[in-house]
């Protein structure tokens, strides 16, 4: 065989898995249709965070007077904001390509088709520099092709009036009015971004709350904050009819009330679908679930001997950090003696709008549904000296705590730097840390991290600062 492992897909699962295999002394190839880093690095996590930083900074500059500073007449260049975001992605993609070279991972740009359990045929894509097709062979194949945005029938993406999370990242003309269909992390992040620069934004969500997977108390807090900033939020609302016109879009919706909404553009952010288009040859049939996601066993192997899969292509949660973890587990299971791969069950989820939202473990609703004996501890940002000094006193930390052993069952944060603070609570859950151990850990003062300490003190029944 040409390789010990061929990785199909160069996103957070693929490139991380390939590098780990190379570290373990294996000869590795990666086949990527577009560019190293996949959707996350090129059209997802990284460029969107660059945009959100611009929005956050613009907001802070407009609030400069409250800090004793003068910054009147602050202006922005929307096209340059988008260009900066694209530049960040380009820089990071080059970094991954450098890692391939330094780790001696062979990198092929082209469309991959698995023709046999040990064979991958590569044809040039529009991003390829080489016009020749070729076939490579490997002892094992790791499938990491990820997902694509879901579309609404009759509202197909055109990159002008109808956007996906990909096309909107490369749109340099700011729209005056935007409708966002779907209030998950992607929908809420883009709603915040456009609202920060003055676009009139409406969010439409079928379920009872925005950020449906988050704790209800957190979602309600974000809804209030968004509403105060001028974002219209329609929950428990369905889109019944759509029309793309020369000047924009028309949507007929039903919920608490039925009405027609007109906008310059619509962002469809209703989720993702598995990406297996053209990946499997006629002689290769992988078992999938009812939604089309590839099924794997405890070792991340598919039903075909020698073909493994990791990341979004095997189903939720559709998170880059989970994908990377799965790929490492799969690769170590292949090449490390005695390794028993771990299937992901506890993982952080993050939304990077302002205020930020982060969580791990059980929500209060889930703990109740499971019949667990638990208590809830909340501590507000407004009682944190560091948060007040930063001008970021909106939000709270919420802990779900088992009554018998006082272990952390779940943690939910809404507020400044929530996505950074959640890591400590992930460690607490994974190590089965108790409230006593958490409160016995000295947290530096003044820091936002003290919010976690204070929430734990609330759980013990003797908070200091509230």
Which residues are annotated as catalytic?
445
Q: Which residue has the tokens 């608490």?
A: 256
Residues 6+ apart with CB under 8 A from 42: 34, 35, 89, 93
Q: Which stretches of 119-248 are assigned E, i.e. beta strand?
A: 119-123, 134-143, 147-149, 162-163, 177-181, 200-204, 232-234, 238-244
Distance CA 408, CA 251 (A): 44
SS3 380: strand
Distance CA 437, CA 352 (A): 29
Token couple for 86: 């694209």
Residue 322's nearest CA partner among 292, 293, 302, 342 is: 342
Residues 6+ apart with CB under 8 A from 258: 240, 252
Question: H or E segment at 60?
Answer: helix 45-62
Q: How crowded is residue 37: how many other Cβ atoms within 10 Å of its Cβ?
A: 27
How is residue 437 annotated by DSSP?
A: H
418-430 helix and 450-460 helix, angle to the nearest 10 degrees: 50
Question: H or E segment at 409?
Answer: strand 408-415
């Amino acid at each position: 065989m040409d390789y010990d492992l061929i990785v199909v897909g160069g996103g957070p699962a693929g490139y991380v898995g390939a590098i780990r295999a190379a570290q373990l002394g294996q000869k590795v190839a990666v086949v990527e249709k577009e560019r190293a880093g996949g959707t996350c690095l090129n059209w997802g996590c990284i460029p969107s965070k660059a945009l959100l930083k611009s929005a956050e900074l613009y907001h802070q500059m407009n609030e400069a007077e409250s800090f004793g500073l003068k910054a009147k007449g602050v202006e922005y260049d929307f096209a340059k904001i988008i260009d900066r975001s694209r530049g960040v992605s380009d820089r990071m993609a080059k970094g991954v390509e450098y890692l391939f070279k330094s780790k001696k991972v062979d990198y092929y740009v082209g469309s991959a088709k698995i023709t046999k359990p040990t064979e991958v045929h590569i044809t040039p894509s529009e991003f390829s520099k080489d016009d020749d097709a070729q076939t490579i062979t490997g002892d094992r194949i790791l499938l990491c092709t990820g997902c694509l945005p879901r579309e609404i029938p009759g509202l197909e993406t055109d990159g002008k009036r109808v956007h996906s999370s990909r096309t909107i990242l490369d749109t340099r003309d700011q729209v005056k009015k935007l409708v966002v269909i779907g209030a998950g992390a992607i929908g809420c992040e883009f709603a915040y971004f456009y609202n920060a620069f003055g676009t009139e934004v409406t969010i439409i969500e079928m379920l009872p709350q925005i950020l449906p997977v988050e704790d209800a108390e957190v979602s309600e807090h974000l809804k209030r904050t968004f509403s105060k900033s001028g974002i219209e939020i329609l929950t428990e609302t369905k889109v019944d009819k759509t029309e793309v016109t020369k000047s924009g879009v028309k949507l007929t919706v039903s919920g608490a009330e039925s009405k027609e909404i007109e906008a310059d553009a619509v962002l469809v952010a209703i989720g993702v679908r598995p990406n297996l288009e053209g990946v499997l040859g006629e002689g290769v049939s992988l078992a999938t679930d009812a939604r089309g996601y590839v099924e794997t066993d405890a070792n991340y192997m598919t039903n075909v001997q020698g073909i493994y899969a990791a990341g979004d292509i095997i189903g939720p949660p559709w998170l880059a950090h989970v994908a990377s973890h799965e790929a490492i587990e799969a690769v170590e299971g292949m090449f490390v003696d005695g390794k028993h791969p771990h299937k992901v069950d506890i993982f952080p989820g993050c939304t990077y709008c302002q205020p930020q939202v982060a969580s791990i473990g059980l929500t209060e609703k889930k703990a109740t549904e499971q019949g667990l004996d638990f208590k809830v501890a909340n501590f507000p940002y407004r009682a944190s000296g560091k948060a007040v000094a930063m001008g970021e006193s909106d939000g709270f930390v919420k802990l779900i705590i088992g009554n018998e052993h006082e272990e952390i069952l779940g943690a939910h944060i809404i507020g400044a730097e929530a996505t950074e603070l959640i890591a400590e609570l992930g460690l607490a859950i994974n190590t089965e840390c108790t409230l006593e151990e958490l409160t016995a850990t000295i947290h530096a003062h003044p820091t936002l991290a003290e919010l976690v300490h204070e929430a734990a003190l609330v759980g013990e029944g003797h908070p200091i600062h509230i």
